Every structure is written in structure tokens, then in C-alpha cells.
Structure 1
């Protein structure tokens, strides 16, 4: 296939402006995906948004299409680092290995882990690139769509108005949510009364339990996620929420209530009990389901995985033998650089596990060897799967879970126990996870670059720079989200205590703090003293994959697995498989997430279904349907990015103890009934926006169809 820019044509490519634009996008899109992944357990591929934004900015500067390619390549790498980070780093906090998330040592450890994983992924891709991107059996659907965006831009087309318009709308809505102008969700506990027979008093009604009802969360980002994954997957995710909150929580609450509330309870007590049941019983069951779901996902892909492993070994032999041409469009990083990068990642793993996690030198050496072997195979597998189905459907969490279990078993075989062993397992899993995510995303971008005529070694070098920056920056938004959530909830809790004229707080170990002393505590300690459900692993930042990694690592290494609940969840996951549920993993994640999250995602999927049906009813041809699809995905991506960036902004304000409230000026205490009706109107407005705008821009029937850019 002839590249869009021939190999003998040398346009401006690796320019300072292209790299800088890419670096800014890498940080922004990486942070946005970190926000989304911690809250919803999902990330979106950044190639498409990075292509649109990079093209718009480079065109304003009269740049070339190859500069756009470099900007997109560097800009999209942040999402893969974020995916690896959120699946693993919060596990250090959730498992208790890091009682405090932010310290200089934790920052350095996290940054080195992300950088080592990123470099490892890039080096393995440099070995595998040529054979994989030129393989006709790998369609690379998202790569083709991204390349067509750049080609359309060169011909004068653009989709930036959809992306940036949706970002602005989501930013405004999220800003109003953060200042508490209206209610973000509605919940009510419906009490059930059953008849009990008393021989003296006769028939008597008694409250025995109930059902906690909830509305969708007011979140453009969640609705955007639902729109992207579509009605079927959105329904699967929501079914997990219905199963958790419509069956398991009410049923368990029914049996617990007599012992917990022998003298009756208030509505607030029932709500608190429901959340306690969900947190401590249902979520571990969901983790068992996720474990089976991840294994089943890999089993279904066993043929692709085996093919990927076989090909990867063959490709390395070809690369080592120097079987490559010297054309510009086929030049990768020198082989010596590749070997040096792999050695660097191995040395970092050895030093981190030995010096920081404090395991024996031999154990650290084995951990480094395991990391290189697993990193290579999973990078190859990840790239192969991306070539088939795109990076959005790449089962990174399943690959990471496999790496974690293998590493944990090796650590146990070597006699490693305690926090050091758990930390070593999580560290190796984090490096492998980042490596696999980076490899998949990078091969996708290299395929798009191959179509456009980009120079591979320049793209690989740009990604190394992007990985370095994001690795040493991404810890900051993670810290801001974690500590900002804690501080925001601590402020509300302290205000409630002051209103109740409470002067001191006593911890479980008998220590007494005044409210002023509590305010002066670090965020993680403030969370412990006040007993807050905040930060990583909480309702607000569920981080389901990290919770799974934490539970498994501690369970295997320390023998503290909550096996009864995990086994129940595994049986439930097996039942999903026997029922031929399309994605048992997605259902289990839905059980793990708050109901308002899965409800909002489901609503976005329903909206996507409405758009599809409307397109059919209007008799749109295939070209028009593709444009509707692409425009809708751009709108959804804009909603996600807009909310995430504003959410990070307000998390930063909470982190610095800047507190904004408009509630009291409008609704007094924020409890007026009209507050939630504004939320309903906003939900309807987003729905109308996501339906009308794509359909209104379907274009003429005789326009040629671009490739579908559906994630």
C-alpha cells in the first residue's frame, strides 16, 4: 500500500510545535482518562480525540500532515500510561501497603514504575512493528479511522466543532455540579413490611427490609461512556447494578436487619446498612465475578493469543537478523537502543523491588526476569489484539490480572511474605500493565502513521518523550483526585459535627482530636480519623480493577483472601458464562460500581440505541450512518473530556482547601424538591443533544463515506 506521503518525500515532521502539542495532549488526555477510569472503571482510546485536536492546532499553524501524525502519536500515549496506572497504583493504597498515598518516595516509585513499563512497551513494539503493521490479516479499525481524520483534514474537513462544543457543555454542567447548584442524584429507601403472627397481639406489621432506589448520576462523562459502548454493553453493565442493588443488597439486608436493628431503624439507618452490605459483601462477590470474567475473556481469545505469541518470537528473530529496508517509512529505533531500553526496564524493576520494596536481591532478580518475560509476551499479545479489535476493546485488565497471579505465585514459591511480597507483586504487575497498554496504543498509532507515511523511529522517539513526561506528571492528578475527594468529604463531615456542636473526635484506638486538629491532619490520616468512605476504593473513586489487584495480591501472598465471598462471586461468574452472557466481566464491574454510575452509563447506551433507530427510520444510507456514528463518538468523547478536566480542576481546589458553594444562595440547605428537577432537565438536555446533533449532521446522501471511527 502506497503511503499518503511517499517515502521519498520529506515533509516537516518531528518539529518542536508538534511534540509540544502532543505532550500537552498526553498529559490532558491521560489525566482525563485517569479520572474516568477511577470513577467508572473504564477508559476510552485517545487516538481519535488526539487526532482531531492535533489536526486542528497544527492546521492553524500551517503545519504538515506528518506533524499532525507526530502530535497525535505523542498525545495518545498518555491514555495508555493512565490505564496502566489506575489499574495498579491505587491498589497500593487499597491494600494498605501505602497508608499515605503522597510521599516523595511513593511519587518516585510510581513514576519509575510507569516510565519503566512505558519504555519496555515501546522497545518491544520497535521489535515487532514492521511485521505487525504490514500484516493484511490485522485490520486495525481505529488506526484506519484516525488516518482518515488526517486525510479529511488535508482535504478541508474537520470534526473539531463537535468535540470542543461537547467539551464546553460538559464543563459547564460539571462546574454547576461541583458548586452544588442542584442535586446530582436522588435516592430513597423503600421499606417493605411483612406480616408476623403474634399469639397475643394477632397479626402485626413489621418492617423487615427494603429497596434502595437511585437515579442516574448527573454526569455527561458517564453518558458519553454509555454512548460509546452502545446499548448492549451499557445494558450488561447496568444489569450488574440491578443484580447488586435489586437482589443481593435487599436480600442480605433482610436477613441482617433483625440483628442490626432490633428496635427499629430510621430511613437513614437503612440507607447506611445498604451501603455497608454493598461495600463489605457484594463488592467482594463482584471481585470473584471479575476474576472469572477476566479468565473467560482470555480463554475466548486463546487462538489469537497463541498466534500472537508464535508471531512475536518469529518477529524478534527477524529484527535481530536485520531483515529490514532502509526506506524512511520503515526505519525503527536502532536495535542497540532497543536492547538498552529493555535492560533499563529490567534494572529499574530490580532496584525498585530490592531497595524500595525491600525483598532479597535474588527475589528482586527473579522479579525483573519475570517482568521482562511477561512484558514481552503481553506486549505482543496486546498489539495483536489491538490490530484485530482496536485498543478500546483490548483486555488490559485481564492481561494484568494474569501477570499478577503468575508473579504472586512465584513470590510465594520463593518464600516472600508480608507487605514486601505484596508490594513486589503489585510493582511487577504495574510495569507489565503499562507495558501492554503502551504497546497496544503505540502499534495502533504506528499503523495510522504507516498509512499516512510517517517515520517510525521519530514516532517511537516521540512516544519515549511522551512516556517520560506523563510518567513523572500523572502521579499529581492521581494524588489530587484521591486527596481532593478526602478533603471535600472531610469538610462536609466537619461542618456536620460543628452544627451538632461536637467538639472532639475519638478514634477506634482511643485517641482524641479536636476539630481544628483534624483539619490540620494530612488527607489520608483525616480520612482514618473521621472514618470516611473517600479516596481510592470509595464510592466516588471506585477503581474496581485496582481493588481486584489489591485483594488478589494480599490474598495470595498473605493468605488473607476472603475466599467464601470470592468463591460465591466465581460461581456467579460461572453462571453468567453458562447463560452465555456476552461479557461476564462487564456485569461484575457493574456490581462493583455505584448504581448511579451504571445507571447513567446505561442511559447513554439507550441514547445511542435511539440514534441508531432514528437513522434507520429516516432511511439514511451507509455513508450517512457512518457520519452520524463518527459525529456521535466525537460528542461523547468531548463530554468525557470536558467533565474530567473540570472535575480535576475542582479536585485541585478541594486539595488546596478552596471550597465553593452556591447551594445556600438558591436552595438554602440544598434540600428543596426543585433541586433535583433541574438535574432531570439537564439529563434530558444531554439526551436531546446526543440525538439531534449527530442526526442533523448526517450530510448529503451522495457524499462518500469515511471509515467508521467507532471505538
Structure 2
């Protein structure tokens, strides 16, 4: 029977080696099993490992920003082909297709480990504990290696025996890329055809690499100019006034988020952005409308809603609604996947029994690492898990059993689901939610509910999450190798090396990103006033003696105005405390971040430490950390206190923090880590049972309404939780992809592709490669800038400050006085008329110009107008 005559899904439960499998009967790998080519050599392994670290770092940045990552295999494969082809032009040898496969195998490990780290590890900090470097590194390393080792026994069962039934779409697409860029040596080994076809394929591979490197360069340069040199405002925003008070729209105009939107496509991008629209244009304005008349705080908020800004309303109320929606969406997604997960587990275990029939004389393409090595490695890793005190699993037999049981369960499920629906749709988050739910329920039954067991539960969940994520990635890599005729054991060695190396760097990067965006919030801060109300300065009292560390950004003589509700209130001015300048105009609103009466017994504070990040240059003092876990007497959080136990700063973390401006007025880019927040809420909700359940249940009901309407609730819920500024550029990227796909459908209509084949074809298109470059370049630039900002060197801090001051004074695209001064020189003062608003555009509007250029470039590359090769002409004789 011919394989073409059988639909791919006709025998979804076929297990073991079946001689009548029509797909296996007709299958031949690209490089035959009897052919020997260079494969696991040192240079490809080093390049693949380095690329894995690069894409792992960029993937960690993405998962912290928006909870998503994109597959690295195809970009790494294209980069590898190009690097070795350049080497060949300088007299060095070109790589074989099997060496390029080693590069992409080692390079793909970083992305999957980064996803697991970003989904779980920040939850430790959200739960009120310190994020230790060694803990993150150990969880990443142990989970990554465990997932690979647990996947190895499943290879014959799922990759080989199920060939034709489990598609492994990303692995199949990567194999096609490797074939297209195969060297002459590889083509001769495969007896693939003429030199003319080899030249055409090489040209196509070079064009793809040119596109990726072009995108990487553009993304890196754009991010450096925008963030490092303050070339333009990075988050344009519009806050509405009456009658739509507290509503706002914004966009973080970064190349990485634009690229993510292009790759995930218009549907998911639109659903995510719709969640942001609900949060920022419905929920926040509604809370402001109904709470504006209240004179006291509504828990869990600590100040009256009438005095809250949109960001404060989001932090106090909407985040809990979003977290409830994310939790419900994750659990619903898990339950909807249960039939598939059960089928995958049942088929995978049955296949495992039938797939162990390999002999010692197996052909090259069927040789795995020995089972002694695999089982010994798993036992050794579990032993290490029980030994390291950082995981709080020391000699914890129950924890070890849970890791092995859940790990093997979900690695099996992840591998099979990846084969059926691809890595992008694999519900790793749902599997992690299930692991944490079951683990916490077991802990609750045996009485393990103290804060120390939060770390235990999260360590179990983190290791299982990373193992299942890496198990799916390993499956895709082994599928690629199966199709091109690679040696499995060499791939397994390569991905073990790549996973180990990537795990070593992700912990430091996570800490650097957090420290560089941490804001040390003083007791009193000064927010530039958004209401321009002139008043008689005699109504204001003398300014209290605020310390130098919390003085207003612009020096000057100010008086204090307390605007309280009642007959004496200033009309049109929100209640609160304000600073009034010498002319009687309001300059700042005074925000009390925590009460002056807050204090702790010094014996309960930790060891002394100094500030980290940019603020360390202004304050070299040492303080002691205090983790406040309840809201009694003031907000919960991590405080830095003096020797008397009086809080000096509230340390608002870079990950999941809510303060986006430093005391000196400089803006800070935060990392919202939506899925890590979900994990922390599951642990806290079950073990601690201290959550604002009213708000959480509102989010749960939103998710249920969406599911009843036929809309995927998890993507929408992530949009509710994320800032609209993060989901809006993703939406724009999705719309560009929609326009490009319409063009590609017309171009490929003669091929009569099925929807699955069309998606596979467009996933290798120039637009996707350009978007991958945007992501890598933008994320790497953001990480480099974060590292430089975190270096406590006065010279760097002074340079950054001088650049920002110049931009404020002279750059019309950045904001501040420079915007109005620039246009006033051209068109005269702004008279406030309609014409005046047109001739004096704001920095929020002007900063969209570079982003429009970035969008246009992506669209033109996707439409194959730029960075395309000329068609190759083949002479016929």
C-alpha cells in the first residue's frame, strides 16, 4: 500500500514497529544509514551551544515580557548554514548537513529551558522570597537534562514507529531547511541531483540567512537607539480625561514584540490584544467611575480609588482579575487537553514497550545512548535534586517521587502532543499547572503549608515544566535527524551539552534583568501632575523637609496643597496632596507609598545589603531586607530598613513590579511574567489561602464566558493580565502577518496546498525569518542595556543621565521640554487651537515614526520586495 493513499491521522493509536506501516515501508532518510559523513565535530558543537545561549537569553526576555517564546530551530539552522558557507569562502571546509543538524540541535535547547525558567522561577520572588542565582541555575540544569534523558527511550516508539502519524511540524520544517542548504558533499552523499539544483538551494539558504541577520541587525540597532540613546519614546501613551477617566492606550514599540506578533499570527495576537482592551478601556475606567466618590481605600488597595492613577488601579485590582482569568484559562486548557494527554500517555507507554527491540547491531540511524547511561543519569540527577539545599528538597523522598512521576508522565505527553499539534500549541503551562495543583494538594493533606514549602512545590513544578518543555524540543530535533539521516546518539549528546550550557547563563540573566529594573521606592514620591489647575498659592502650606533621596525631580521652591473632599475642595482637582510652584500652578502630586508609622523589629530583618542597579550610584548606604507578607499597617513587599527597623525603601522588583518610574523621574521597563504570577497564585491560594478571591473569581468568570463563546480563554486572559502596551505591538505584528499571508495565498494558489501545508510553507517565509531576527536583535540589545545599567559605575550612570537630559531638552521624539521647544522654534508657541495641535505634535505621536518604518520593512520583506534573491535560470539542453 502506498503511503500517499493513507491520511496521516487514520491510525493515531498505532504502536510499536509494524511491518505493514506504509510510511515506514516507503521512507528513506536523506543521508542513507550506510553513508558516513562528519557529524559530531567540535566546531559545530561550539557554534550550536553559543547560538543556544543567545536564543535562550532572547527567549527568557520574551517569556518575562509576554509569557511566550518562539521556536529557535529554523533560525539557528539558517544561521549555521550561512556561517559555514562563509567559512568555505575563506578556504575552510563547508559543514555537512549532519553537522548543521548538530548546530540546530544544540542551539534549540536554550529556548525550551528559558520558557520553563521564565514560567516558574520568578514566582519565588512574587511569593516574597529572594531569587537566588544557584536555585535558578540548578532548576534549569536538572530539569533540562532530566527531560532529555527521559525522552531518549521514547525515540523509537514515537519518532520512528509513528512516522507518518505524528507529524512533528517544526522538526519537519527544519529538515526541509537543512536539505535546501545542504553542501555539495552532502548532496553527493545523498545522490540528490545536479550541481545546478545545489546552487539554487545554496542561494536560497544564503538569502534566508541574509534575512535573519538583517532582521537581527535592524532589531539590535533600533533597540539601542531607542532605549540606550533615548532616540524616541519607547512607550507612547494616551490617557483620557472626563468623561472617560482613567482609560488609556499605549504601545511598547519594540522590535521583539512586533516580531512575536508576526510569528504567532493574527488570531492569537488579536485575542491577546482584546484582553488588554478589556482591562484598559473597560475594567480600569469602570473601577474609577464607581469608586471615584469613595473617601476610604477599598481593599486590597491602600489608597482611595479617587486618588489612584490608571496604573495604580491596575496594580491593586485588575492584576488579580487577570490572574484569575489566566488560572482559569490554564486549568480549562488542561481539562480540554486531558483526552489527548491520556491518549498520548497510553500510546507513549505502549510504544515504549514495543520500541525497545533495538539490537546491538542497529544501523547508524537507529543508535541511541545506552540505557545504562540514561537510567544512571536519571538516578544521578534525582540524587542531586535531593542533595542541594537550595531546592528545599533535601532528603525529601516524596518530592523526588513526584518529580520522577510527573516528569516522565509529562515528558511522554509533551513528546506525543508535539508530534500531533506542534511545539507552539503544546500546553506546557497546563501541565505545569496540573503539577503544581496536585503537588500543593498533597502538601496540604500532609500539613506542609509553611512558606518554606512554597519553594519545595515550585522547585518540583519548575523541574517538571523544564523537563516537559525540553522533552518536546528534543522530539522535534530527533524528528529532524530522522528525516535527514542523522545519528540519534550524537544529537542526544549535542542537546545535553547545549542544555547544560544554556542553564548556566539563564540564572544570571534573570537576576540582571530583575535588578536593572528594580525601583527602590521611598516613602514619599512625586508624580508630575497631569492636571493643570491654577490657584491662589496662599491656600498652600510650607513644604515639609523631604530628604534629598526623595525630593522632587525638578528643584525649586514648592508649597503643599491638601485637596480634601468637601466645600473647600479645589474644583476639578482630584483629592490628594500636591506641590504648588511659585506661580501657583500644580507641579507634582505627592504619593505616599507606605505609612510613616511602619516599623519592624530589627531582629526580624536579614543581613545588610546595598542597593543594586542604577539607584546604587545615588545611595551607597547599607540596609537590611524585611519581607512583609501581609497588608497589615502597609503594603506587602520587600522593604529595606535601617538599623532601627524603619523602612527606607520599598524594593519594587523588575519582574512583576508595579512602579515604572524611579525617584529621579526616569522611566523603567518592567517584566510582567504573567505565567509566573499564575504559578505563585496557585501555590499561595492552596497552601496559604490568602487571596482577594472576589477579584480572582471575577477573572475566572471572564474566562468561562469566553469559553462559552468559543474563544480560547488563555490567550485572552494573558492579555487581561499584561499591560496593553505589551499586547498592542503584538497585535500590530499579527495584522502585518495577515496582510502578507493574503499575498502568499494568491502566490501559492496553483500548488493547491492544504491549510497545514500552507502554514508549514509560510513558517519558512522571509517574513518569519525577518521577525525572528527582530526578536533576537531587540531582545539581545535590551539585555545588554540592562546589564550596563546594572553596573554600579558613576561614569555609566552619568552618561545615561546626560543622554536622557539632552533628549528631554532637545529631542522632539522623546518628550519633555525639548518637544515643545523644537516645534515652537518652527511654528511659534502653541496657542492651544486645533491648528496648534497639528503643528505641535506630541512625543507620543512623533515616536511612532521609527516604529512605522520598522513595520513597513517587515511587511516589504514578507511580501518578498526586499532581501530576496533573483530567480535562478536553468538552461535546458
Q: Smaller-chain TM-score range? A: 0.7 to 0.9
| Structure 1 residue aligned with 2:330 | 294
Whole-angstrom CA distance in 1 between matches of 2:780 and 2:526? 23
Q: CA, structure 1 residues 254+638, in 2 after alignment: closer, same or farther (shift >3 Å)? A: same
The partner residue of 1:309 within 318, 333, 345 is 345
Shift of residue 295, structure 1, vs aligned partner: 2.2
1:445-464 maps to which residues of 2 (within 5 A)? 445-464=477-496
Q: CA, structure 1 residues 317+687, in 2 after alignment: closer, same or farther (shift >3 Å)? A: same
1:19-58 maps to which residues of 2 (within 5 A)? 19-58=45-84
Q: CA, structure 1 residues 254+627, in 2 after alignment: closer, same or farther (shift >3 Å)? A: closer
The partner residue of 1:139 within 164, 167, 172 is 167
Instruction: Tell me whether 1:92 sits opposite 2:120 in the alignment.
Output: no
The partner residue of 1:335 within 366, 371, 382 is 371
The partner residue of 1:273 within 304, 309, 322 is 309
Q: CA, structure 1 residues 628+418, in 2 after alignment: closer, same or farther (shift >3 Å)? A: closer
Shift of residue 271, structure 1, vs aligned partner: 9.1
Q: CA, structure 1 residues 525+623, in 2 after alignment: closer, same or farther (shift >3 Å)? A: farther
Instruction: Tell me whether 1:541 sits opposite 2:671 in the alignment.
Output: yes
Whole-angstrom CA distance in 2 between matches of 1:261 and 1:562? 18
Shift of residue 9, structure 1, vs aligned partner: 1.2
Structure 2 residue runs of 5 or longer lacking an equivalent are: 1-26, 88-93, 183-197, 298-304, 528-548, 558-591, 603-609, 626-637, 642-646, 659-669, 820-840
- Is 2:520–2:651's contact at 8 Å kept on the other side of the alignment? no
Instruction: Tell me whether 1:249 sits opposite 2:284 in the alignment.
Output: yes
Shift of residue 230, structure 1, vs aligned partner: 1.2
1:534-573 maps to which residues of 2 (within 5 A)? 534-538=653-657, 540-573=670-703
- Is 1:620–1:701's contact at 8 Å kept on the other side of the alignment? no
Whole-angstrom CA distance in 1 between matches of 2:869 and 2:521? 48
The partner residue of 1:486 within 502, 518, 523 is 518
For residue 392 of structure 1, give the secondary structure of its aligned residue in structure 2: helix
Shift of residue 258, structure 1, vs aligned partner: 1.8
Structure 1 residue runs of 5 or longer lacking an equivalent are: 194-208, 263-268, 705-711
Shift of residue 473, structure 1, vs aligned partner: 1.6
Shift of residue 243, structure 1, vs aligned partner: 0.8
Q: Deviations over 1:411-443 (max 9, x none)?
A: 112211211111110000000000001000010
Q: CA, structure 1 residues 358+435, in 2 after alignment: closer, same or farther (shift >3 Å)? A: closer
For residue 698 of structure 2, give the secondary structure of its aligned residue in structure 1: helix
Shift of residue 211, structure 1, vs aligned partner: 3.6
The partner residue of 2:786 within 639, 651, 655 is 651
Instruction: Tell me whether 1:475 sits opposite 2:605 in the alignment.
Output: no
| Structure 2 residue aligned with 1:232 | 267
Whole-angstrom CA distance in 2 between matches of 1:638 and 1:417? 45
Shift of residue 451, structure 1, vs aligned partner: 0.9
The partner residue of 1:162 within 208, 211, 219 is 211
Q: CA, structure 1 residues 254+340, in 2 after alignment: closer, same or farther (shift >3 Å)? A: same
Q: CA, structure 1 residues 483+315, in 2 after alignment: closer, same or farther (shift >3 Å)? A: same
The count of aligned residue pairs is 672
Q: Give the aligned CA root-mean-square deviation in angstroms.
A: 3.2
Instruction: Tell me whether 1:588 sits opposite 2:717 in the alignment.
Output: yes
For residue 14 of structure 1, give the secondary structure of its aligned residue in structure 2: coil
For residue 240 of structure 2, give the secondary structure of its aligned residue in structure 1: strand
Whole-angstrom CA distance in 2 between matches of 1:271 and 1:146? 54
Whole-angstrom CA distance in 2 between matches of 1:555 and 1:114? 25
| Structure 2 residue aligned with 1:597 | 726
Shift of residue 221, structure 1, vs aligned partner: 1.0
Q: CA, structure 1 residues 564+663, in 2 after alignment: closer, same or farther (shift >3 Å)? A: same
Whole-angstrom CA distance in 2 between matches of 1:343 and 1:436? 18
Shift of residue 403, structure 1, vs aligned partner: 0.5
| Structure 1 residue aligned with 2:223 | 174
TM-score (norm 1): 0.88
- Is 2:109–2:495's contact at 8 Å kept on the other side of the alignment? yes
The partner residue of 1:186 within 236, 253, 262 is 236
Shift of residue 618, structure 1, vs aligned partner: 6.8
- Is 2:149–2:377's contact at 8 Å kept on the other side of the alignment? yes
Q: CA, structure 1 residues 321+449, in 2 after alignment: closer, same or farther (shift >3 Å)? A: closer
Q: Which has the higher helix share?
A: 1
| Structure 2 residue aligned with 1:118 | 144
- Is 1:346–1:369's contact at 8 Å kept on the other side of the alignment? no
Q: CA, structure 1 residues 325+678, in 2 after alignment: closer, same or farther (shift >3 Å)? A: farther
Shift of residue 498, structure 1, vs aligned partner: 5.8
Whole-angstrom CA distance in 1 between matches of 2:73 and 2:686? 37
Shift of residue 383, structure 1, vs aligned partner: 0.8
The partner residue of 2:468 within 436, 442, 454 is 436
Give the greater-gyration-radius structure (CA). 2
Shift of residue 19, structure 1, vs aligned partner: 0.7
- Is 2:247–2:310's contact at 8 Å kept on the other side of the alignment? yes
For residue 191 of structure 1, give the secondary structure of its aligned residue in structure 2: coil
| Structure 2 residue aligned with 1:639 | 774
Q: CA, structure 1 residues 90+9, in 2 after alignment: closer, same or farther (shift >3 Å)? A: same
Instruction: Tell me whether 1:389 sits opposite 2:421 in the alignment.
Output: yes
Instruction: Tell me whether 1:686 sits opposite 2:718 in the alignment.
Output: no
Q: Deviations over 1:244-279 (max 9, x none)?
A: 1111111111122222599xxxxxx97953212212
Bigger RCO (CA 8 Å, 6+ sep): 1
For residue 214 of structure 1, give the secondary structure of its aligned residue in structure 2: strand
TM-score (norm 2): 0.72
- Is 1:623–1:703's contact at 8 Å kept on the other side of the alignment? no
Whole-angstrom CA distance in 2 between matches of 1:271 and 1:229? 39
Whole-angstrom CA distance in 2 between matches of 1:573 and 1:54? 43
Q: CA, structure 1 residues 211+615, in 2 after alignment: closer, same or farther (shift >3 Å)? A: farther
Whole-angstrom CA distance in 2 between matches of 1:703 and 1:600? 40
Instruction: Tell me whether 1:420 sits opposite 2:452 in the alignment.
Output: yes
